[in-house]
Amino acid sequence: MIGFIYALRDAGVPVSVQYVIEFYRALQRGMATDLDRLFLLARLVFVKKVEYYDAFEQAFAVFFLGRDMRAPFDDLEDMVAGKPFRKWLQEQAESGRLTPEELHRLGSEELLARFWETVLAQKGRHQGGNRWVGTRGKSPFGHNGASAGGIRVYGESLHGTARKVIGNRQFLNYSEKSALAAENLGQALTALKSLRPCGPESDLDVDETIARTARNGGEIELVFRRELRDRLRLVVLLDNGGYSMWPHLELVKTVFNKIRGVVRDVDFYYFHNCIYGTVYKDPRRTCPVEWEKFLGENRSTRLVIIGDANMAPAELMASYGSLDLNNSERKPGREWLMELRSAFPASVWLNPLPQEQWLRESPTVRQIGSIFQMEELNLAGIKNAVAYLNMRGKDFDGR
């Protein structure tokens, strides 16, 4: 199995010593009696995040079901020793399609060529039977077959009984390098939590029960605690009204709509460029919110600010820096932002500008980045932001 573990590592799936030990212990206990159970076991042990599902499945397919069909035969010995080829060869000999004389006469390359012809033709020519790779048969490997709970290899589903599908990929791209979309954004946002003890003390605290029982010399002392529930409260501030945010309109709309669909308790407010003691309930910025009331949120509330942080330095650093003619606040915008940061310890700034541009834009991007944890408004950035908010917020949950 060491080769499979290397294959997972090469495919980008995180592999730790602890995972390997757990995997081998499970194998020793006989928890993988067939390929289907091995697939489930390995995925359970090695895949801890949904973004690694696809890499795992492809590595599993390559290692246990043969190398990539488009790859050259650059490792002949491994190919010949592989389980898919040996299974196919046995079936060919037992069915009489390959005679003993042909098995001795044909070289490895020609036998492998015939093997791949069988695999590549699985969608068209082969139907029925119990061959290793096939269609409409009883083999647990193939597609449109009658073997319930098998592994579908390419093709379309007929009975819908396959436990796993390997081949044509139909997956949401959760890779951190992928483009931000409603589907993968939703997955990232669901990790945003605010777990707090609620209700009566009805959940048994196993660890504390064991600890106190040990201290009592074996006399059992049951310890109960309150149930942990997700009480996430989110506030989102959107930079709205400036031309610099226009190129990012569709991206921000995607984030806006998905947050509204995923988080139950969320409020949206609006500002332009910087904040000067006022945020607004409406995008046109006609309904101001009292600053003291806005800062009166529970400290466990998560705050997300979306904006390019790109403005004239005076807007951030100078007195009376607001571009709004109706705003005559003397305090510089930077001080308002620091006050906001103090009121919301679990806060993050999402910037739609690519990170490589931050140093080339106005120095205000760097200055605001020194006040708030700043992440790029892409999938990787949102994942980092969610992890940061969860880490910072847990210190204030329940207060």
pLDDT in the model for residue 107: 67
Q: Say which range, 23-27, 137-141, 279-283, has the weakest mean pLDDT.
A: 137-141
Separation of alpha carbons 213 and 233, rounded Å: 38
Mean pLDDT: which of 182-191, 197-206, 284-293, 335-344 is highest? 335-344
The angle at the Cα of 20, spanning 18 to 25, to the nearest 5 degrees, equals 95
Confidence band, pLDDT 50/70/90 cuts, at residue 83? low
Q: How large is the average pLDDT for residues 144-164?
A: 47
Q: Does domain 234-393 bear CATH number 3.40.50?
A: yes
Separation of alpha carbons 331 and 276, rounded Å: 8
pLDDT in the model for residue 186: 74
Separation of alpha carbons 164 and 143, rounded Å: 11
Q: How large is the average pLDDT for residues 16-20?
A: 87
pTM, 2 dp: 0.57
Separation of alpha carbons 362 and 314, rounded Å: 11
For residue 367 the two structure tokens come to 């200055």
Residue 125: pLDDT over 70: no
Backbone angles phi, psi at 271, to 5 degrees: -150, 175
Q: Which residues are within 8 A (CB) of 263 and not within 5 positions of it... i.e. 6 or more apart?
A: 189, 192, 232, 234
Mean pLDDT: which of 10-19, 209-218, 246-255, 296-305 is highest? 296-305
Residue 365: pLDDT over 50: yes
What's the sign of the alpha-carbon dihedral 66, 72, 75, 77? positive
Of residues 392 and 202, the one with the higher pLDDT is 392
Confidence band, pLDDT 50/70/90 cuts, at residue 46? very high
Q: How large is the average pLDDT for residues 132-161?
A: 46
Q: How large is the average pLDDT for residues 209-218?
A: 87
pLDDT in the model for residue 363: 93
pLDDT in the model for residue 206: 87
pLDDT in the model for residue 291: 95
Q: Say which range, 81-90, 262-271, 292-301, has the weakest mean pLDDT.
A: 81-90
For 270, counting Cβ atoms within 10 Å of its Cβ (0-12 exposed, 13-18 middle, 19+ buried), the class is buried
Of residues 177 and 333, the one with the higher pLDDT is 333
Q: How large is the average pLDDT for residues 45-74?
A: 72
Confidence band, pLDDT 50/70/90 cuts, at residue 297? very high
Average pLDDT of every residue of the chain: 78
Pairing relation of β-strands 302-306 and 347-351? parallel
Three-state SS at 197: strand
Q: What is the pLDDT of residues 231-253, one digit of tens each?
A: 889 999 999 877 788 888 888 88
pLDDT in the model for residue 121: 54
Q: What is the pLDDT of residues 88-122, one digit of tens each?
A: 777 877 887 777 777 667 666 677 667 766 655 54
pLDDT in the model for residue 118: 67
Of residues 170 and 377, the one with the higher pLDDT is 377
Contact 137, 131 (CB under 8 A): yes
pLDDT in the model for residue 148: 44
Confidence band, pLDDT 50/70/90 cuts, at residue 81? low
Domain parsing of the chain, residue ranges: 2-134, 195-230, 234-393
Residue 200: pLDDT over 90: no
